[in-house]
Structure 1
Amino acid sequence: MNIKIENLNDSWKQFTLNNDRGMSVKILNYGGIITGIFVPDKHGNVENVVVGYKDYRDYVKDPNYFGAIVGRVAGRIQDSSFTLDGQTYTVDENEGKHHLHGGRNGLHCVIWDDEIIETDSSVSVKLSYRSLEEDRGYPGNLTVAVTYTLNNDNDLIVNYEATTDKKTVLTLTNHTYFNLNGNLKETIHNHHVTVDSSRFVELDEELIPTGKILSVDKTSFDFRNGKYLADGIESPAEQNKLALNGYDHYFLFDKQKDKDVIVKEENSGRILTIKTNQPGVVIYTGNNIKNGLELAERSSEKYLGVTFETQSSPASLHNEGFPSIILEADDTYEQQTVFTFGIEK
């Protein structure tokens, strides 16, 4: 196992984590962006299974958040405001009147400090950043660290840790778009997804939660026994149409199974399993990816990747019954998501 470091310019670095089984992960110190994950298929062909740009400079103005750490708050904050202990805070408007993924210059577009960690069984890069009081309008000075670890079990472990000197709001995630076909040979219509969730969050026309949590029973949102993403992309259901034909919804985990999410792609034989201590996940099927972006393997189009954004819910700032994103001054934010890659036998 080893780590390689490439200096892309005066401030940008790319880290490549390699294990002994032919898996590698490429990560930028800019935005903590995962630019590539290379894993074998059932024939032993090692291919990239995430969406990324051919030219690293295109990440500077990326509306898709390809591979990035997003925050301080992942997802949408309704009307770009919230109230804590009677005080109202206004954050950056960057999607109409709403706040999306930490704002225009959120954690996805800062240079993180880096530290290499190597053990007998794993290799890691720890990225850290200090977000100051009123950054994008958020209260509190926030010290945050995200550690990416690769081991020989083909686990990519993402650990998040943060502290604040003032009560604030926080829910971090990684925004990697997965495509298990390999090298973006096809769209993600043929991905078979299982999710341990019996409830999902209803959205309005602006993709803001209505405050209603709905049952997945007899809907295109029932992934409990597995479903192809094509079922939702092609569904006439109102919620799929609101998301511009697909998914962009928060699912609350039941936490009844060992794995929270299982993704399979039959042609390659690749399997991705996801385990997290987060209460839910936003599944987004790349409905807004524009044509013509120069990606590592090909030109872009809709549905080239699917994200699994494990997180709490910013809807909790305006509605009861949603997983909280409040971080107290004397608490430590600690979350973990493990992405494991394998081959179906």
Structure 2
Amino acid sequence: MQANITRSDFGTLPDGRRASLYTLVNPNGLIVKISDFGGVITEIHTPDRHGKFSDINLGFDHVLPYLEDSPYFGALIGRHGNRIAKGRLVLNGQLVQLPVNNGEHHLHGGPGGFHRVFWQVEPFERGDSVGLTLSYRSADGEQGYPGNLDVTVVYELTPANELWVRFHAVTDKVTPVNLTQHAYFNLAGKGDILGHRLMIDADAFTPVDSTLIPTGRLQPVEGTPFDFRAPHAIGSRILAQDQQLAYGGGYDHNFVLNKTGSGCQLAARVVEPVSGRVLEMHTEEPGVQFYSGNFLDGSLTGKGWNYRHRGGFCLEPQHFPDAPNQPTFPSTLLRPGQEYRTQSKFVFLVEQ
């Protein structure tokens, strides 16, 4: 089979703008579908141990639900992924107020973040790899953020069954930047994800308060339900009597990855034992947000799939939440003359 890219219609927004859907196919038959609206990954089709392909990505088959109801299904996230306390930060001695859209906090770039903008798309083919280059200018003041930010995102599907996500950005004013990809996975293609076996290479996580803002501490995972250094089922400890699990309604926490040098390193590995499907997430980022689909409640249906409680999980490579207000966390400030560069990859494998 030859790798290829096709483009199709993905529906019309209320203001008349039309969305497109790009279908990427690698030589092994893996399929990834991505829209220019929100840079959203709408479908990922991978084989099980018997060679049967299923869609393992939560999403919709039309653009409108992504505008109305989507809990960031498959979206590009920016300017700043995760939460910023009360939407406030101080830059150059000046208070910056961002819109609040998660209780009293700012989440995932605000209500008009990168998940709800149209991206310019250029498809490409490199040998047996296919991909898309997405670009967007976030104007000075958009969602309250200072500076013009020019962003490029490259999605590349390789013959090694890797989906690379590469970010680049430059700015003309100091501004916080923390870009990520918010795909929801269910390697079984149905049901819940509690039987998926998860490994996260992290000795610590960042505990949160009751509104899911980090306390600023790094807490060892040793002896807690957050110890995924050895793989075990997501559901095996999710109901444990633990204050952090109570705050999140399950897992919704940033894990501090064990890093050895630079480069893209294995951060997490998930195995679905019935199908044999395996997902690995490799990243250059210092953290990963593991989210166990706690707020899914069965009210959303897409592609003939009802998204029930804990029907999908997310592994979002990132800098830490609320970093602009946490001086001990790795900085997310980007300055003029600097380049923001980071990359991650999702690898789709099968265990026999």
Name the TM tier (shorter chain).
Answer: over 0.9
CA deviations on 1:220-269 (whole Å, 9 max, x unpaired) are: 1011111211024222211111111x100000101259511111010000
- What residue is the counterpart of 1:132 in the other structure? 139
Q: Distance in 1 between matches of 2:147 and 2:210?
A: 32
CA deviations on 1:119-161 (whole Å, 9 max, x unpaired) are: 1131011111000001011011000011110011000000011
| Structure 1 stretches lacking a partner, 5+ long | none
- What residue is the counterpart of 1:196 in the other structure? 201
Deviation, structure 1 residue 8: 2.6
**SS at 2:322's partner residue?**
helix
Q: Distance in 2 between matches of 1:252 and 1:107?
A: 25
| Identical residues among aligned pairs (%) | 38
8 Å CA contact 2:26, 2:128 repeated in 1: no
8 Å CA contact 2:19, 2:63 repeated in 1: no
8 Å CA contact 1:54, 1:294 repeated in 2: no
Deviation, structure 1 residue 311: 0.6
- What residue is the counterpart of 1:239 in the other structure? 244
Cα RMSD after superposing both structures:
1.3
Q: Distance in 1 between matches of 2:342 and 2:237?
A: 29
Q: Distance in 2 between matches of 1:290 and 1:123?
A: 35
CA deviations on 1:265-302 (whole Å, 9 max, x unpaired) are: 10000111111101110000110113221221322211
Q: Which moved more, 1:289-298 or 1:328-337?
A: 289-298
Q: Distance in 1 between matches of 2:149 and 2:237?
A: 38
Deviation, structure 1 residue 54: 3.9
8 Å CA contact 2:27, 2:128 repeated in 1: no
Instruction: Select which of 266, 270, 282 maps to 1:275.
Output: 282
- What residue is the counterpart of 1:169 in the other structure? 176
Q: Distance in 2 between matches of 1:140 and 1:338?
A: 29
Q: Distance in 1 between matches of 2:70 and 2:269?
A: 27
Instruction: Select which of 96, 102, 109 maps to 2:109.
Output: 102
8 Å CA contact 1:314, 1:324 repeated in 2: no
Q: Distance in 2 between matches of 1:49 and 1:340?
A: 13
**SS at 1:335's partner residue?**
strand
- What residue is the counterpart of 2:162 in the other structure? 155
| Structure 2 stretches lacking a partner, 5+ long | 12-16
Q: Distance in 2 between matches of 1:129 and 1:252?
A: 30
Instruction: Select which of 111, 121, 128 maps to 1:114.
Output: 121
Instruction: Select which of 258, 270, 284 maps to 1:254.
Output: 258
**SS at 1:204's partner residue?**
coil
Instruction: Select which of 207, 230, 239 maps to 2:235.
Output: 230
**SS at 1:124's partner residue?**
strand
- What residue is the counterpart of 2:14 in the other structure? none
Q: Distance in 2 between matches of 1:239 and 1:28?
A: 35
**SS at 2:24's partner residue?**
strand
CA deviations on 1:20-63 (whole Å, 9 max, x unpaired) are: 11101000000000000000000110000111124431111234
TM-score of the aligned structures, taking structure 2 as reference length? 0.95
Deviation, structure 1 residue 203: 0.8
- Confirm whether residue 28 of structure 1 aligns to residue 3 of structure 2: no
- What residue is the counterpart of 1:340 in the other structure? 347
TM-score of the aligned structures, taking structure 1 as reference length? 0.96
